Chain A
Amino acid sequence: MDSPARAVPHRFNRPGGIGFVSYVLVALVILWSLEGAGWSVDRLLSSPPKLADFFSRAWPPSTHNLDRLAWKMVETLQIAVSGAAIGIVLSLPIALLAARGVLVGRGVNLVVRIILGFLRAVPDLAWALVFVVAVGLGPFAGMLAIAIDTIGFCGRFFADDMENTDPGPAEALTATGARRIDIAASAVIPAALPAFVSTGLFALEKAVRASTILGLVGAGGIGIELKVGFDLFDYPTAVTVILMIAVVVIGVEQIGAVLRQKIMGPGR
């Protein structure tokens, strides 16, 4: 109360020299990128009529092929579930090697994490192309692509989940002479289990999203119908496929969110 009144602070700080230069640089990079992406006001302005034309030809969505499309969607989900399941199971031992301070030394952790980073960095469609070459066209190639993608994701995040567990129980077991493998199995993994389930559900959602477009490169699932629909100008079918994908992906996300809430739940 009786402290002296303070001056009203400035509304903004003036950027220093380096700050100013970096703003300009960022602006230049964005402009340069727009240029590279072929930014064109003309084409943007001419698109509404074309879009209107597309929708007039695409609407209403086709219902002729619904049961074929439904079976393709089932196949898509089978690819996602089997690929995610295999990926999650294989991720566990790999994550044990990637987690710092759990089983192996820092050197191995680093190498495994770099490999996992590589698996994640290659897009799932690229993995699908590779497996189409390796095992031929069809859903099996798609499943393998999803499995690899899931290993890249779960291997890394399972490892993070384990690193984030309370180190206390592990230290108590170390002090009583337990081996690292026993400590991992009896203290670290049980403590990380809820986080594993949450991470696994994210992996499944990701797998469902990815599996819907694997068909674009011939790796099974409903994506092929999207491609065929556009190639044959059968826009009503293509729109049906897009809507089905949206419904399934949103549905899986919702189910995942509910399960996650149940498991992580109100803290215990």
Chain B
Amino acid sequence: MRHKATGVGQQVIDLQANSLSKRFGTAAPVFSGLDFSIRRGECVALVGANGTGKSTLLRCCLGLIAPDAGRVSLLGVTLADLGGTARRELRARTGLVGQKHNLVPRLSVLSNVIHGLLGRHSGPRYWIQGLAPAEARAAAMAALEKVGLADLALRRADQLSGGQSQRVAIARALVCSPRFLVADEPCASLDPQAGEEVMALFMSLVKREGVTVLFTSHNVQHALSYGDRILGLQGGRIAIDARSADVTPLEMAKLYG
């Protein structure tokens, strides 16, 4: 909201990628020479056929894997220059929602959400909810409230449905009030209806809080309706970079052709 409201906020660049290249071993490069940027508050859909390197690109953007060449600047900080502490401080303002929910199965929902605060805090008090400080528990409960799961706080994470798990993962990502979120096919593991609900919930929350989002989806409809902008990856290059309203069905179809 804040950032949408001011014209200045629109100009801030949250993610800037320059000539990014990545290959695994001696295989052909997954992608090379990618250039794009994402403005604050934007919600960008990264689309492309299976195996075109979407997940790899997302990981490079968060510095989870290093590109072979090129530069990523995230929230105004160049990733390659960062030492351990500065890197963690930057990551405390980012988050990842994966294809699977990636919760710790044997711990409670509440403990899993409190883990989302580990970027800002450290130590045993943030390992399980029973030891956590009152503010941390309150913050986690507030995040669970947002995804409508406060009443399941003490349920074990492996006793949730797929949709519930993914909502807990969203609460964990949001609990530290991130500036920049990456979501890699957040509803790929869900049935269509649960996927629809999770996507709608996720997008309404990030828009309400003004979080910048880069997400992938195999669902063209999701990409077009939730993304303000489409980045199309094909053959290791950016084939589409346009506002979603301006992308034609034919262009989308060619990506997968």
* A164-199 contacts to B (CB < 8 Å): 166, 168-169, 171-179, 181-183, 185-187, 190-191, 193-194
Which one, B19-27, B102-110, B229-237, B241-249, is touching chain A?
B102-110
- How many Å lie between the Cα of A182 and that of B115 in the bound state? 9
Which residue of chain A lies nearest to B112 when distances are taken between CB atoms in the complex? A169
Please determine whether A190 and B169 come into contact, CB atoms closer than 8 angstroms: no
Query: Looking at the complex, which one of B87, B107, B120, B178 makes contact with A190 (CB distance below 8 Å)?
Result: B107
List, in ascending order, chain A residues with CB within 8 A of B120's CB: 177
B86 to chain A, nearest CB (A): 10
In the complex the two chains form, is B98's CB within 8 Å of A172's CB? yes
The reply to whether A176 and B100 form a contact with Cβ atoms under 8 Å apart is no
B127 in contact with A177 (CB, 8 Å): no
Cross-chain contact A176 with B169 (CB below 8 angstroms): no
The reply to whether B106 and A191 contact each other, CB–CB distance below 8 Å, is yes
Among B38-46, B89-97, B144-152, B216-224, the one that faces the other chain is: B89-97
Q: Roughly how many angstroms separate A166 CA and B101 CA in the complex, as a whole number? A: 11
Task: Let me know if B106 and A171 touch, CB within 8 A.
Answer: no
Q: A198 CB to closest chain B CB, in angstroms?
A: 14
**How long is the Cα–Cα vector from A117 to B103 in the complex, in angstroms?**
33
Interface of A is mostly: helix
Q: Given known contacts A169-B102, A176-B116, is B92 in contact with A186 (CB within 8 Å)?
A: no
A176-B106 in contact given A186-B118, A268-B158 (Cβ < 8 Å): no
Q: Please tell me if the beta carbons of B176 and A168 are within 8 angstroms of each other in the complex.
A: no
Whether the Cβ atoms of B118 and A171 lie closer than 8 Å is: no
A171–B128 touching, CB < 8 Å? no
- Give bound CA distance, A96 to B161, whole Å: 32
How far, in angstroms, from A191 to B90 measured CA to CA in the complex?
27
A-B contact count (CB 8 A): 90
> How many residues of B are counted as interface, with CB atoms below 8 angstroms from the partner's CB atoms?
40
Q: With A and B bound together, what is the CA distance between A182 and B182 in angstroms? A: 22
Contact B123 A177 (CB under 8 A): no
Residues of A within 8 A of B93 (CB): 177
B162 within 8 Å of A (CB atoms) = no
Given the complex, which residues of B lie within 8 Å of A179, measured CB to CB?
A: 88, 118, 122
Task: Indicate whether B7 reaches chain A with its CB closer than 8 angstroms.
Answer: no
Nearest opposing residue in chain A for B95, CB measure: A176
Contact between chains at A178 and B102 (CB < 8 Å): no
User: Provided the pairs A182-B126, A182-B127 are in contact, do residues A175 and B104 lie with their beta carbons within 8 angstroms?
Assistant: no
B257 — which chain A residues lie within 8 A by C-beta? none
- From B106, B107, B119, B128, A178 is in contact (CB under 8 Å) with B119
Contact B64 A186 (CB under 8 A): no
B83 surroundings in chain A (CB, below 8 A): none
Candidate in A172, A173, A187, A193 with the most chain B CB atoms within 10 angstroms:
A172
Nearest B residue to A191 via CB reads: B104
Contacts of B111 in A (CB 8 A): 186
B91 cross-chain contacts in A, Cβ below 8 A: 174-177
Inter-subunit contact B173/A177 (CB<8 Å): no
Pull 7 A–B residue pairs with CB atoms less than 8 Å apart, ordered by A.
A166-B102, A172-B95, A172-B96, A172-B169, A175-B95, A176-B95, A186-B118
Knowing that A172-B102, A175-B91 touch, tell me 13 more A-B residue pairs with CB under 8 angstroms.
A169-B103, A172-B95, A172-B169, A175-B94, A176-B94, A176-B176, A177-B88, A177-B90, A177-B94, A178-B115, A186-B111, A190-B107, A268-B158
Residues of B within 8 A of A (CB): 62, 64, 87-98, 100, 102-107, 111, 115-116, 118-120, 122-124, 126-128, 158, 169, 172-173, 176, 178, 182
